[in-house]
Structure formats: structure tokens, C-alpha cells
Amino acid sequence: MSKIDASPPDKDAPLGMLHWLWLTLLVIVLDQVTKQIASAMLALYQPIMVMPLFNFTLAHNYGAAFSFLSDAGGWQRYALAAVALITSIGITIWLKRLPKDDPWMAASLSLILGGAIGNLYDRVVLGYVVDFLDVYWGASHFPAFNIADSAISIGAAMMVIDLIRNPHK
């Protein structure tokens, strides 16, 4: 079990764990490149089977996760963009203040930040988020998602694992 470190950030490392932003940038680049390829090569809502249980299916998500608020009339674009922007700023500050001995949390925050920025870019520039990964079982389809969503989910799972491993943190 690790102890909580309430000491101020190391003065020799004024940027804290911001060097982990390479992972954020990697997520953003992979996300945007794959979305551009999907948009160029796939027809909207026309599945292409990749293997059993998995298709490429281009979808435009005007809402939040699982298309929540997708039919809200347009205001959600700006509200969700504002939430993503504020969250991204908060995560960046958290990353800067993170102790140098916590690379697991730095990686999880960087993944979440990359995913948030990748989807924020879509929402601001396109007005919707491009999704194209389609997992299904029989006739039941999980909502389509993208690389940014995957990075957010992996980062969040890493945070939960960290909380289980270090409940006093």
C-alpha cells in the first residue's frame, strides 16, 4: 500500500508528470487518423464485417456516451464541448501536480485526456463525434465507438484498478 503524499510538487520538476502528454498526443493522432480513414472509406450506417462479433460501421454521434442527448436539439454540442474542455484543463492540472512516483496514474490521466480532446475536436469542428467500431452479439449491438472512447475507458479502468490496489491514495 502506498501512502498519500501531501507534499508540494518537486521544485526540480516544475512540469510534474506533463512529460506523459506524449501518450495524450498519440491517442489524439491515432483517433483522428482512424476517424478520417473511416469517414473516407465507410458509408454512413453500413456495416462491414471484419470478423464475427465485430464490424466497422460509420456513425455520427450528436450526443454523449451511448448517444445520450443525441436528439436534444443542438444545445448539447456546446454543453458537451464545454464539459470536455473544463475536464481537459482539470486533468492537465492534475497531471502537472502528480507526484513523479505515480506513472500508472499519469498514464491513465493521459489516456483519458487524449480521448477527451479527440472527441472534443470532432464535436467542435464537425458538430458530432465520428464512431466506427461496432461490437455485437447476434442482433444486439453495443453502441459504436472510436479510439478516443477506448482510451477514455482504458484510462478510467486503470484509475479503478489503482483505487482498488491503493485504497488510501
Q: Is residue 57 part of a domain?
A: no
Q: Which residues are catalytic?
A: 131, 149
Q: Which domain holds residue 75?
A: 18-41+71-165
Q: Is residue 106 part of a domain?
A: yes
Q: Is residue 63 part of a domain?
A: no
Q: How many domains does the chain have?
A: 1
**Tens of pLDDT along the chain (169 residues)?**
445 544 455 545 567 789 999 999 999 999 999 999 999 999 999 999 999 999 999 999 886 665 555 555 556 667 778 888 999 999 999 999 999 999 999 999 999 999 999 999 999 999 899 999 999 999 999 899 999 999 999 999 999 999 999 988 7
Q: Is residue 58 part of a domain?
A: no
Q: Tell me the pTM.
A: 0.84
DSSP string, 41-88: HS-BT--EEEETTEEEEEEEE-SSGGGTTTTS-SHHHHHHHHHHHHHH
Q: Is residue 126 part of a domain?
A: yes
Q: Is residue 49 part of a domain?
A: no
Q: Is residue 65 part of a domain?
A: no
